[in-house]
Chains A and B, each alone.
Chain A
Amino acid sequence: MKKTTLLIAGALAATLAAFAPAHASGTEKPPRVSWSFAGPFGTFDRAQLQRGFKVYREVCSSCHAMSRVAFRNLAEPGGPGFSEAQIKALAAEYKIKDGPNDQGEMFERPGRPADRFPAPFPNENAARAANGGAYPPDFSVLAKARTYERGFPWFLFDIVTQYQEQGPDYIHALLTGYADPPQGFPLQPGQSYNKYMAGNAIAMPKPLSDGQVEYPKGPDGKPAAPETVDQYAKDVTAFMMWAAEPHLEARKAMGFKVILFLIVFAGLLYFTKKKIWARVHDEAHA
């Protein structure tokens, strides 16, 4: 009886699989990167976030805004771990539009820690005009706004393995995925070929190249991390993940305690239940 059910269910699954058309898309699956913030005990690597911030500031921020992140966030627990003094100095390097003043005029002043990162363009149209009609998306939540298709059955395993880094993996892949287009691949002026972008044509010129950003030097005079496209991409992506989920560390740390508590509590309830129900079962056998 059970067997028939299984058979029918199996037949159903097979039918479904047979009907499923092969996925016709030219984009490759992003390779997995091992992120420090993955998994149940994941935390951000402070030095990596600081390097990633440097990449953002020196390269990406000329096109991409990050309007929901305030300077002060960079000093908050669970983030890049800058000191208050560093943040003050950093904020002061930016010009923030404020006002109106007593005369009714807008004015510019040096930034304060509570200010949010100013956008490189006054509005979306200006950003598009400067980028050949394409809009460089805001970085604030971008790492959570991108993903890629995992497909059956992997998407089910992801619940248990806690694979949640589709967004970062995609962004890292995108930044390292520039290549020469195949023969005859149609590209509009201003577009580049990218293995991972949907449709393979991206309006962002290859933003990173080896040696472009200077990393802090270690005691031996060598950079603390390789000054390569791959490393830049990892670092800036980790930074973007923090920007998108600034409380990630607090969340995972709390999760461990909560789940531990619930499991112990469940255990106690189980034995209480057993004890109470024992009376009923005893008498059933009496």
Chain B
Amino acid sequence: MSMSLDFPVDNPPTRYHPLTTQLPIKVATDAVSVRYGDKLALEDVSLEIPDRAVTACIGPSGCGKSTFLRCLNRMNDTIDTARVSGSIRIDSEEVNGRDVDPVVLRARVGMVFQKPNPFPKSIYENVAYGPRIHGLAETKAELDHIVETSLIKAGLWAEVADRLHHPGTSLSGGQQQRLVIARAIAVNPEVILMDEPCSALDPIATARIEELIDELRENYSLIIVTHSMAQAARVSQMTAFFHLGKLVEYGPTEEIFTNPLDQRTQDYITGRFG
């Protein structure tokens, strides 16, 4: 895939950076807007998200971060009033295209939610859920293998190996969140979306998830929404700052945090509003 260099220059102010040049672009959005009924929740968002890196979305509550994330795997389809316009490409394939099956797309773009939401099934069945419905495993042994590697990748295997058939809901909050991450990577997605994955967790569980995110970066393109500036700074390579439905500023995390171009970004990361 070729790297496009024509970042919009003035609004939003995004910058060319060596980091992005080294990595191929995974997701590119162009003038994406979302309406819920009459309400414009996201306006004209254009950005390019690199592969094998973590992109953080930050911004005050209600600015449209979750809405943006849900565009990328067409979860907004499940909301009757939501209307999405603009173009979103993953590997140059149009996500909103008429012939794209959202069900197939969602297997490629995994999602982890703010509150861990394991299914009312065993740990094993939770992870096996995706592979089963997408027919990824021919035999029981293959399925076992997928479940095991997913749990290992999610850093949960050691804790649950001996109780795979206990209910997923019997785990602690942090374990549940890692279970849900294992569930998402079991179908071998290309992009993983995480909407405030640590907001329901304590600092220790948060640290584990952050470690995990850092490891997952090796293989996936990750996009996470977070309200913690520190977390964004720790785990992400790119940062997008949203405000009132608009993308205000997008660039390498280091620069956004040390030298923001926009006054609003400056105010937000220094804690003056939001």
Is B truly associated with A?
no
**Chain B residues at the A interface, C-beta cutoff of 8 Å:** none
